[in-house]
Copies of this chain bind each other. A is one copy, B any other.
Amino acid sequence: MPPPLEPPPDTTAHPDGGAALPPDLVTVALSVDLVLLTVREERLQVLLVRRGIEPFLDRPALPGGFVRPGEDLAEAAVRELAEETGLRHPPAHLEQLATYGAPQRDPRGRVVTVAFLALAPQSRTPIAGTDAAASYWGPVATADDGPGLAFDHATILADGLERARSKIEYSAAATAFCEPEFTVAELRRIYELVWGARLDPRNFHRKVTGTAGFLVPTGRFTTRDGGRPAELYRRGDAPVLHPAMLRPVPRLP
């Protein structure tokens, strides 16, 4: 049986007119968890780690860790991301997803976790694993098969996927999956794999090139996709798309 935990929250020694938190306050351990998505090998994949300790020993889990003193939430997320992937710079897209705090979600005690959604191209996530060397990419389609994710991470992953699918509808976030320069077809492949749907290449081309601020043409071309050379584009500066690019199958059948 583990001993009672130390220390209490560092809520003292603040020069503030004698104001203090209530003495009977419940405190919780605070962690961040990451839903880091990328497109690899023609599939949407998520970064997972194999847990090296109890509970859920050897089970797959989302990468994450505890927030440190004096650290902001997004700061902790960026740090964990760097530790788990060797990622130098913050990813092109990182946003807070939601917070999960069910009382029994961690059998060790009250742990509340703030989940973040990150999107990154394959090239910038070498997984030079330092902290949890057991990190690996898992296809999202089967990520919750097999042993099953630790804690409530299956729920977090599902929420992250839904957020990603929805986000690329009305924002340019899908470019976060791409290399700095990419073709329209590569971007279309992102949409198709994230949504799990086929898109018409001609209509997609018209849409993305016609939406102001979405793509910036470079004037250079590549043939890496085979066929006729395709122009290379860079991300534009439009944070939102107007009008949105809607998923083919409406939400209500």
Q: A residues near B, CB below 8 A?
A: 1-14, 16-30, 53-55, 66-73, 96, 98-103, 107-112, 114, 212-213, 238-240, 242-244, 246, 250-252
Q: Which of A12, A17, A22, A99 has the most B CB atoms < 10 Å from its CB?
A: A99
Residues A110 and B19 in contact in the complex (CB < 8 Å), given A28-B27, A101-B72, A252-B242: no
- Give the CA-CA distance A73 to B30 in the complex, in Å: 14
- Give the CA-CA distance A112 to B68 in the complex, in Å: 13
Q: What would be 6 A-B contacts, judged by CB atoms less than 8 Å apart?
A: A3-B23, A5-B21, A9-B28, A26-B29, A30-B30, A112-B112
Residues A73 and B55 in contact in the complex (CB < 8 Å), given A19-B107, A23-B3: no
Residues A1 and B12 in contact in the complex (CB < 8 Å), given A20-B108, A101-B114, A242-B251: yes
Q: Which residues of B contact A239 (CB under 8 A)?
A: 251-252
Closest to A55 in B: B19
- Give the CA-CA distance A70 to B104 in the complex, in Å: 8
The 6 A-B pairs of least Cβ separation, nearest first, read: A11-B109, A2-B20, A19-B54, A16-B107, A27-B27, A73-B101
Contact (Cβ within 8 A) A54 B16: yes
Contact (Cβ within 8 A) B29 A101: no
- Give the CA-CA distance A240 to B102 in the complex, in Å: 27
Besides the known contacts A5-B25, A11-B110, A21-B29, 17 further A-B residue pairs in the complex with CB atoms under 8 A apart? A5-B12, A5-B20, A8-B8, A9-B26, A9-B27, A9-B28, A11-B109, A16-B107, A19-B107, A25-B29, A26-B69, A30-B30, A71-B103, A72-B101, A112-B112, A213-B252, A239-B252
Contact (Cβ within 8 A) B103 A70: yes
Contact (Cβ within 8 A) B14 A108: yes
Q: Which residues of B contact A72 (CB under 8 A)?
A: 101-103
Residues A26 and B66 in contact in the complex (CB < 8 Å), given A2-B18, A5-B12, A252-B238: yes
Q: Which residues of B contact A6 (CB under 8 A)?
A: 8, 23-24
- Give the CA-CA distance A8 to B6 in the complex, in Å: 7
Interchain nearest-CB distance for A78 vs B (Å): 14
Contact (Cβ within 8 A) B14 A109: yes
Closest to A71 in B: B103
Q: Which residues of B contact A5 (CB under 8 A)?
A: 8-9, 11-12, 20-21, 23, 25, 27
Contact (Cβ within 8 A) A66 B22: yes
